């Protein structure tokens, strides 16, 4: 079965600073999804990566999938209080959406003013 390891487990960053969260898979990634979750709430889809070397951006958040397709990174530029929450990476076996997601344990992000 596929396992996803996220690092760091938690992160405290001063407002305005940049940060990176990593997600490493035990197997080749065919579909890698990034979600954000505010405490006590549901999951908000950020972006999905499929191709090795692919990079996507949404506002100040950029995600990349490495060429070997076993690691993804999420980079936030000029962090804001609205970025605080839990960031989760998830993968499905085929990238086709059918067989559910395996998730990492999440990265708790705190933004200090």
- Binding residues (CB under 8 A) for another protein: these are 1, 31, 33, 35, 41-43, 45, 47-48, 50, 88, 90, 95-106
Question: Which residues, in sequence order, are bridge partners of residue 76?
Answer: 19, 61
Least distance in Å: CB of 29 to another protein?
13
Nearer to another protein, 22 or 31 (CB): 31
Q: Locate tokens 């999420």: which residue?
A: 74
Least distance in Å: CB of 22 to another protein?
15
Least distance in Å: CB of 77 to another protein?
22
Nearer to another protein, 17 or 58 (CB): 58
Q: Which DSSP letter does residue 85 get?
A: E
Nearer to another protein, 85 or 104 (CB): 104
Q: Which DSSP letter does residue 81 get?
A: G
Instruction: Respond yes or no on whether the N-terminal peptide bond of residue 8 is cis (omega within 30° of 0).
Output: yes
Q: What's the first-to-final CA gap in the chain, in angstroms?
A: 41
């Amino acid at each position: 079965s596929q396992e996803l390891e996220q690092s760091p487990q938690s992160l405290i960053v001063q407002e305005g600073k940049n940060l990176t969260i990593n997600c490493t898979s035990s197997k080749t990634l065919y579909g890698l999804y990034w979600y954000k979750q505010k405490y006590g709430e549901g999951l908000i889809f950020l972006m999905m990566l499929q191709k090795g070397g692919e990079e996507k951006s949404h506002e100040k958040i950029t995600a990349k999938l490495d060429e070997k397709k076993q690691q993804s990174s999420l980079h936030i530029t000029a962090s804001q209080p609205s970025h605080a929450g839990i960031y989760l990476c998830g993968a499905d076996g085929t990238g086709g959406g059918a067989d559910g997601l395996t998730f990492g344990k999440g990265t708790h992000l705190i933004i200090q003013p």
